[in-house]
Chain A
Amino acid sequence: MGDAVVGTGRDAIRTSAPRRPELLFARLFVAIVLVYLFAPVVVTVLFSFTTSPRLSLPIEGLTVNWYANAFSNPLFGRALGNTILLAVVTALGAGALGVLFSFGLVVLRGRVRGILLTASLVPAVIPVLVLGIALAVFCNSIGLAQGIRNAAIGHILVALPFVILTMNARLETFDFTTLEAARDLGASPWQTFRDVTFPLIRPSVMGAGLLAMALSLDEFVVTWFNVGTEQTLPVVIWGLLRRGINPSINALATVVLVSLIVLVVLSNYLNRRKV
Chain B
Amino acid sequence: MTGMVPGWNTLRQVGPAAAFYVLFFLGPLLILFLYSFWTMDGYTIVPGLSVASYVEAVTTSLYFAIIVRTVLIGVATAFLVVPIVYLLAYVMLFVLDDRNRRLLDLVLVSMFSGYLVRIYAWRTILGKEGLLNSALLQLHLIDQPLTFLLFSNFSVVVTLVGLLIPLALLPMYSSMSNVSREHLDGARDLGSRGFHLHRTILIPMTLPGLNTAFAIAFILSVGDFVVPTMLGGAQGTMIGNVIADQFKGSGSNWPLGAAMAFLIMAIMLAVYLVVTRALKWVTRW
Residues of A at the B interface (CB closer than 8 Å) are: 6, 10, 14, 16, 18, 22-23, 26-27, 29-30, 33-34, 36-41, 43-44, 47, 54-58, 96-98, 100-101, 103-105, 107-108, 112, 116, 119-120, 122-123, 125-131, 133-138, 141, 153-154, 156-157, 160, 164, 180, 183, 189, 214, 218, 220-221, 224-225, 234, 237-238, 241, 249-250, 253, 256-257, 260-261, 263-265, 268
CB distance from A239 to the nearest CB of B (A): 11
Please indicate the chain A residues that have their CB under 8 angstroms from the CB of B138 in the complex.
57
Say whether, besides A30-B103, A108-B6, A41 and B110 are in contact (CB < 8 Å): yes
Chain B, residues 88-121, CB within 8 Å of chain A (1/0): the string is: 1001101110100001011111101111111011
Please report the C-alpha to C-alpha distance between residue A214 and residue B110 in the assembled complex, in whole angstroms. Answer: 12
Query: Complex formed: what's the CA distance from A200 to B215 in Å?
Result: 35
Q: Is the CB of A14 within 8 A of B185?
A: yes
State the 7 A-B residue pairs at the shortest beta-carbon distance, nearest first: A127-B223, A104-B13, A40-B121, A138-B28, A104-B14, A134-B28, A101-B17
Total number of residue pairs linking A and B with CB closer than 8 Å: 243
Chain A interface, DSSP helix/strand/loop, else mixed? helix
* Partner-A contacts on B (CB < 8 A): 3-6, 9-18, 20-21, 24-25, 27-29, 31-32, 35, 84, 87-88, 91-92, 94-96, 98, 103, 105-110, 112-118, 120-122, 124-125, 127, 129-131, 134-135, 138, 162, 165-166, 185, 188-189, 215-216, 219-220, 222-226, 230, 240, 243-244, 247-248, 254, 257-258, 261, 264-265
Q: Are B32 and A264 in contact (CB under 8 A)?
A: no
Q: Tell whether, in the assembled complex, residue B162 and residue A127 are in contact, meaning their CB atoms are under 8 Å apart.
A: no
- Closest-CB distance, A168 to chain B (whole angstroms): 12
| Known contacts A10-B98, A137-B31, A218-B112; 7 further A-B pairs (Cβ under 8 A) | A26-B96, A37-B110, A44-B114, A125-B215, A263-B112, A265-B109, A268-B105
